[in-house]
Structure 1
Amino acid sequence: MRANRSRFITIATILLVIAGLAGALTAVLRSAQGASGSGGGRVDGRAGGVDLERVVADYTSRFGPGHGYRQPRKADRAGVAEAVGLLLDGHRDQAQQRLSQLDFTLRTLVDRVSGRSFAEIADRSDDAVAPRGWGRVYVDLGHRARWSVQVPHPVADQGTERLGVGVLRGSPGGVLVIAGAHRKAGRGDSADVAHRQDTVFDAVCDELARRGLPGIQVHGFADDSAPGYDVIASTGKGTTGRADGRRLADALRQKGYDVCRAWARSCPLEGTENVQGRRADSEGLAFLHVEFAHAVRDDEARTARAVTAVNTITARWAAAG
């Protein structure tokens, strides 16, 4: 009898150990699935946060002329824009489903610099041998979307991607739209998203304009393209944003930058042919086309001062409405 009881206890102990191991294995498998899945509900960097600037820099470091861009179909452009709209309306699951159909991912990043959570919409082909180059979108999840900052020529306009992240961090309610390839990556000017209406970048910016979001688009110019100036500030084709343009020019001037004000004099690189600016004008929205000299973009401290000046405008936009 005692031997049977001992045998029973031994078997029970073994079963408990097996159950414990099975539970641990299940937890490991679930963790692995979350790390390698589509990212729909994943939060990256919750504990220590991630550096959003580094995330974007790693992404754009692969860009170069002559490769990395495929022309999107109309359905692709419309689909990504629709998904962005769903996300902004609070329909994350539907946005995730739509993006997955287009081979895009949706995840949440916690930026340790700003302390904010951002949704990242990214092309799954980014890490492929032949990426499509359709770009990324970052949305502030803690506030209603109020404004956008657009980076149409990352890498080609060196440092504008860093400017874009800095502006996004500086005021609540921002949406950052980044082109997914070097402006000379495609055939002809097919990847030059600031002058094309058949890109994912333009489709997303159109969706934001349709929702009434004012925007600032950051560019870069060679120092000898506008001698004597650090910044060229313009409202593109439209005039709605002139009051904001003046405020921005004044804020940049206070930071020590010489600004060419395109509404007051003839400046190079005024952006009057910019298609996102033209759409904003048709919607009666403020749109600022801002060119920064290489000397501003190439110096971290000067970039930070420029971002602070820009945030005087985005803060106003964030507080409006």
Structure 2
Amino acid sequence: MRADSSMRADRPPRKPPFAASRRTTLALAALALTATAALLTWALALRGGGGDHGTTPDGAPGRSDLERRVDGYTARFGADTGYLPPTRSDRRGVARAVGLLLDGHRAEAAERLDALDFDLRTVTDSATGRRYAEISDRTDAGPSPRGWGRVYLDLSAPVRWSVQVPHPIADARTEQLGVGVLRGTPGGVLVLAGAHRDAGTGDAADVAHRRDTVFAAVCAELAGRGLPGIQIHGFADDTAPDYDVIASTGRATHHSRTDARALASALRARDFTVCRAWVRSCPLEGRTNEQGRNAAEEDSPFLHVEFANAVRTDRREAARAVAAVNVVTARWSKRTPEPGATD
């Protein structure tokens, strides 16, 4: 029979009674430190947005999947969420900071943004390896976000064009299309609205139809520099059942026609049916779009593009749509900046 181990002659002397208590205390302390570290990591990720760990303070590149990051940010948007209309000073301040960043004055841009409770961070997109400057509203991580949006500027090439997403979530998956377009061609800027179009009071957060928003101010800064822009929208399939895409130049001048034709050709080459607003009457032509009106005033190229729900919600279809848009953005990326624009 096997001897009871407690009777073995070589058993070490019994430790004093307090040893077990000490081990328990140390284990609890280690557990508490681990929990504290986890909470701090979660808080930092939340402050960066989207629960993604790939954002870093100004000047230090981090790695982040840009689409996941934007998804995490916009997932909180809803028609019943609040929206705080910005003052004229707020709008101008953010737009001026974007201009400073474009002109290479990063430190000054960061200082101005900090005074407006915005962060300037560097994000390296893990899908492409491209670095972006991210301008984000700190209040979005708190209980009462202002809803003023985000801006992503490509740091890998001189900025030459913009893609604008005025109705994320409300126009389902337009934010993903915007990220795809930004990724597809170097030298872009993504301007993303910060709230559902029905948030706040009345149409205060419907940035495509107002000029008193941070979104409009940033787009105006870009148009004033002669940077062409494409604005992404979505429509219900039964709104225009014969078409996959509605393409328009809004109220922009004839300078946009060449780009519009190139876009329509690229879409049709990928088997999309396109209603071309410069050829025939189409629904949702964007004639009242404020960013289009501002671009016309600045004589800056502008395209207003509506995608059917069936295109936006099918990843393969969406990828083909993005590839078509990138035919135009690739043209824009090679253009010489207008006078006043600075690399």
Alignment TM-score > 0.5, same fold: yes
- Counterpart Cα distance in 2 of 1:105 and 1:138: 12
Match 1:269 to one of 279, 284, 299: 284
Q: Equivalent residue for 2:310?
A: 295
Superposed displacement of residue 135, structure 1: 0.1
Alignment of structure 1 residues 179-218 onto 2, 5 Å? 179-218=193-232
Map 1:126-141; keep pairs closer than 5 Å. 126-141=140-155
Residue 295 of structure 2 corresponds to residue 280 of structure 1 = yes
Between the aligned partners of 2:83 and 2:116, the Cα distance in structure 1 is 16
- For 1:141 and 1:296, the matched residues in 2 are separated by 30
Paired letter, 1:219: H
Give a deviation string over 1:167-208, Cα, whole Å, max 9, x none: 000111100000000000021100000000000000000000
Give the 3-state SS of the residue equivalent to 1:223 in structure 2.
Answer: coil
1:102 Cα deviation from its structure 2 partner? 0.2
Letter aligned with residue 180 of structure 1:
G
Which of 26, 40, 43 lines up with 2:58 in the alignment?
40
Alpha-carbon distance, 1:240 to partner: 2.1
Matches of residues 43-62 of structure 1 in structure 2 within 5 Å? 43-45=61-63, 50-62=64-76
Q: Cα distance, 1:283 vs. partner?
A: 1.2
Structure 2 counterpart SS, 1:224: coil
The residue type paired with residue 292 of structure 2 is: G
RMSD: 1.7
Match for residue 308 of structure 1 among 323, 326, 342:
323
Aligned to 1:93: 107
1:207 and 1:224 map into 2 onto residues whose CA distance is: 36
| Pair 1:222-2:252 in alignment | no
TM-score of the superposed pair, with normalisation by structure 2: 0.81
Show the counterpart of 1:160.
174
Structure 1 runs of 4+ off > 6 angstroms?
34-38
CA contact 2:148–2:213 (8 Å) conserved in 1 = yes
- Single out whichever of 296-305 and 239-248 deviates more from structure 2: 239-248
* Residue among 257, 271, 274 paired with 1:256: 271
Q: What's the CA shift for 1:41?
A: 2.6
Cα distance in 1 for partners of 2:312, 2:78 equals: 19
1:114 Cα deviation from its structure 2 partner: 1.8
Of structures 1 and 2, the larger Rg is shown by 2
Contact 1:234/1:288, CA 8 A, preserved across alignment: yes
1:112 paired with 2:130, answer no
Letter in 2 for 1:174: G
**8 Å Cα contact 1:234/1:262 also seen in 2:** yes
Deviation at 1:39, TM superposition (A): 2.0
Q: Deviations over 1:211-257 (max 9, x none)?
A: 11000000000000011100000000123211110110010001110
Confirm or deny that 1:237 pairs with 2:255. no
How far apart, in 1, do the equivalents of 2:215 and 2:57 lie? 22
- Aligned-partner Cα distance in 2 for 1:319–1:144: 10
- Secondary structure at the aligned position of 2:119 is classed as strand
How far apart in 2 are the matches of 1:148 and 1:85? 13
- State TM-score, norm by structure 1: 0.87
- Equivalent pair of 2:198/2:206 in contact (CA under 8 Å): yes
Which segment is superposed worse, 240-249 or 293-302? 240-249
One-letter amino acid of the counterpart of residue 62, structure 2:
D
Deviation at 1:67, TM superposition (A): 1.4
Q: CA deviation at 1:70?
A: 0.6
State the secondary structure of the residue aligned to 2:264: helix
Give the whole-Å Cα distance in 1 for the aligned partners of 2:97 and 2:251.
29
| C-alpha separation in 1, matches of 2:203 and 2:145 | 17
Mapped contact 1:121–1:138 kept (Cα < 8 A) = yes
Counterpart of 1:257, as a letter, is: F
| Aligned-partner residue type, residue 169 of structure 1 | R
Which shifted more, 198-207 or 106-115?
106-115
Asked whether 1:78 is paired with 2:92, we answer yes
Contact 1:240/1:281 (8 A) holds in 2: no
Give SS of 1:118's match. Answer: strand
Is contact 2:224-2:300 (8 Å) kept?
no
